Amino acid sequence: MEANISAGKTTILELLAASGADYFIETEPIDVWQNFYGFNVLKSFYENPESNALMFQSLVELTFTKASLKFPQDKPVISERSFETSVKVFMELAYQNRYIKCSEKFLLEEWYEVLKSKFHIEPTHFIYLRVPAEVCFQRMKKREREEENEVVLEYLQKIESLTDDWLLRKKNVSVIDGNRTQEEIKSEVVSIINQIV
C-alpha cells in the first residue's frame, strides 16, 4: 500500500487487521528507524539530510528486506510501502534535493537489484491511496510526530509528484481516492485484494 506521508496507510491497515481477514499485514517499522541501537535515524535524517539520507535509506532497505524474510507463502501479504518506493520516490527525491550523491543513488539502486533477485520484495500489485499533499500536510501537522516538525508542504508535493510519475503509469496499480471515508477505503482495499487473490 502506497501513499504520501500521513495519508492514513496505517489506519487502513489496522482496520484490515481488525476485520479478521486472513492476511499477513506488514506495517513500517518506524520504531526501529527511531531506535536503531539507540540512534534515532529518522530524526537524524530530517535534522541533517545531507549527512544522514544515505544512512536512513540504507536502514529502510535493510528493514524491508528483513521483513520480507518473514512473509508467508500461503496468504496475501499486505505491506505498508515497498522497497521500490524507497528507490523510486525517497531516494530519487534525496538525490534531486542533493541529500545524496549520484554514486550513492547508484549504490542503493544496485543493492535493490541484488536483493530483488533473492528475496520476495517486489509487490505483485500496488494499492495507491491517493490523498492530496495539502491534506497530508494538515494531518502531519496535527499528528505532531516529533521527527517531522520541519517537513514543509513542498516536500510532500514532491513526494506526490514522484509517486504519481512512478505509479500512475504502471499496469498493476489500483488507485483509491483517499478523500473517501476510512470504511469505504477499507472495503475497496478488500475488494481489490479479493480480485487479485
Among 7, 78, 127, 156, binds ligand DCP (CB under 6 A): 7
In angstroms, the Cα distances linking 104 to 52, 84, 94, 107, 134 are 12, 16, 10, 5, 30
Q: Does 9 bind ligand DCP (CB under 6 A)?
A: yes
C-beta closer to ligand DCP: residue 7 or 185: 7
* Catalytic residue of the set 80, 84, 92, 160: 80
Q: Name the residue with cell 520484495.
A: 121
Among 43, 86, 99, 133, binds ligand DCP (CB under 6 A): 86
Q: Is the separation of the CB atoms in 163 and 89 below 8 Å?
A: yes
**Which 31-60 positions form the footprint of ligand DCP (CB under 6 A)?**
42, 57, 60
160 annotated active-site: no
C-beta closer to ligand DCP: residue 81 or 101: 81
Name all contacts of 105-112 with Cβ < 8 Å and 24+ positions apart.
107/54, 108/54, 108/57, 108/58, 108/61, 111/58, 111/61, 112/61, 112/83, 112/84, 112/86, 112/87
Smallest gap from Cβ 82 to ligand DCP, in A, equals 9
Question: Cell numbers at residue 144, please?
Answer: 505532531
- The catalytic site residues sit at 80
Binding site for ligand DCP (CB under 6 A): 3, 5-10, 28, 30, 42, 57, 60, 81, 85-86, 90, 148
The annotated binding site for ATP is made up of 139-143
